[in-house]
Amino acid sequence: MLFSDPNIKLFISSATFFSIILFCFGIVQYIRQKAKRREWLEKIRGSGQTSIIQHEETSKNISSKTLFTPVLNMFGFIGNRLSHKNFDQSRMRIRFLRAGIRRENAGMIYWGAKCFFSICLPAIFFICRFSVLKVLNNHITTGLIVLIALVGFYLPDLWLTIKANIRKEKLFEGIPDALDFLVVCVEAGVGLDGAIHRVAKETKLTHPVLSDELRLLNLELRAGKSRQDALRNLALRTNIDAMNILVTILIQTDKFGTSVAKALRIFSDSFRAQRYQKAEELAAKMPVKLVFPLIFFIFPSLFVIIVGPAAIRIYESILMP
């Protein structure tokens, strides 16, 4: 029988699995593109007229209609069922904010995802063990199940760390432009709060992540929070050295009554010089990083191309009778 061959069964199972994955990926991409198009239409229709709060509500409504909402609700339900009574979500709140996650039940979703992956991934491997991987003995199977359970438990931590690092890089890329805008606004006579609001509005398209943080800073100021506390919260959410220095400068100028424009101009010049030095450092490290690719990938191919024909000719003329 054709389907009695284990290789045919493995091939059919693999093809079915990858087909389902590609189909789901296509659906997700289609929904993302549709949501992005709807967001751009909302921005075009309401540009210059919508307020910050209305923009936040529109973004939440758009993001709430995605495909991942049932999955997140399922994770939240699992987290509520399996979490212990002393589980404190506030301990993870800083990590969620640095990753750009502001859902109210983010802690329960996070805990539910950890429980889900730590249970489902070993279960899938256990099923595959008795259907496909029959050559594995019991000791190896037990070790792999424990390893996969640990990987599944720490998989949300890895995802959260990667998401926070990507967001941190985007924030760092937007600081120079935002700083130049802020210097121009303050030197033109605009107050610090108005300058921050203007910078958040101007960087909405080029650097949306930084614009979102600055809008949140404006919302805290409008809600009545002191400027020092709002700036410290901004530095805590971003977790960038340059932003910490900028917040310290703004707090000191506000506290001692010194010139904000002059302090921002000095910091802008020093930050630009620091970025230039960092670029020179990366350029100086490049030859050292290219040594291993040259040795293991480029030099062998060049050696075969250059020496290969000569070696074949020497072999034909000397060794062959």
pLDDT per position as a tens digit, 247-279: 999 898 888 888 888 888 888 888 888 888 888
- Hey, what's the torsion of the CAs at 306, 309, 312, 318, to 10 degrees? -90
Average pLDDT score over residue span 110-138: 82
Domain ranges for the chain: 1-65, 171-278, 290-321
For the entire predicted model, the pTM comes to: 0.67
At residue 316, the pLDDT reads 79
Judge contact between 157 and 228, C-beta under 8 A.
no
Judge contact between 108 and 89, C-beta under 8 A.
yes
Distance from C-alpha of 313 to C-alpha of 316, rounded to nearest angstrom: 5
Judge contact between 174 and 207, C-beta under 8 A.
yes
More confident residue, 235 or 55: 235
User: Model confidence over 27-73: pLDDT tens digits?
Assistant: 888 888 887 787 777 666 654 444 444 444 444 444 444 556 777 77
Most confident of 80-94, 125-139, 183-197: 183-197
- Hey, what's the torsion of the CAs at 6, 7, 8, 12, to 10 degrees? 100
At residue 10, the pLDDT reads 66
Q: Looking at residue 50, what DSSP letter applies? A: S
Q: Which of 172, 181, 176, 226 is nearest to 199 (CA)?
A: 181
At residue 160, the pLDDT reads 92
At residue 93, the pLDDT reads 85
Q: Given the structure tokens 């075969």, which residue do they identify? A: 304
Average pLDDT score over residue span 211-217: 91
Q: Using alpha carbons, list the distances in angstroms from residue 295 to 282, 283, 291, 303.
A: 21, 20, 6, 11
Judge contact between 243 and 171, C-beta under 8 A.
yes
pLDDT beyond 80 at 18: no
Lowest mean pLDDT among 51-55, 79-83, 109-113, 137-141: 51-55
Alpha helices in the chain (DSSP H): 6-46, 52-63, 68-82, 93-98, 106-131, 138-187, 192-202, 208-222, 227-238, 241-256, 260-289, 291-293, 299-314
Q: Which of 55, 315, 307 is nearest to 205 (CA)?
A: 55
pLDDT beyond 90 at 162: yes
Judge contact between 100 and 209, C-beta under 8 A.
yes
Per the document, the length of the chain is: 321
For Cα atoms 6, 24, 124, give the angle at the middle one, nearest 5 degrees.
45
| Contacts for 45 with CB less than 8 Å, ≥ 6 apart | none
Lowest mean pLDDT among 161-165, 208-212, 243-247, 304-308: 304-308
Q: Using alpha carbons, list the distances in angstroms from residue 209 to 89, 99, 102, 237, 239.
A: 24, 11, 13, 12, 14
Q: What is the mean pLDDT of the chain?
A: 80
Judge contact between 43 and 80, C-beta under 8 A.
no
pLDDT beyond 80 at 90: no
Q: Given the structure tokens 């495909």, which residue do they identify? A: 67
The beta-carbon contacts of 246-253 under 8 Å, at least 24 apart in sequence, are 246/175, 246/179, 250/192, 251/227
Average pLDDT score over residue span 73-81: 78
Q: At what angle do helices 192-202 and 138-187 cross, to 10 degrees?
A: 120
More confident residue, 46 or 82: 82
User: Model confidence over 290-302: pLDDT tens digits?
Assistant: 888 888 888 888 8
pLDDT beyond 60 at 167: yes
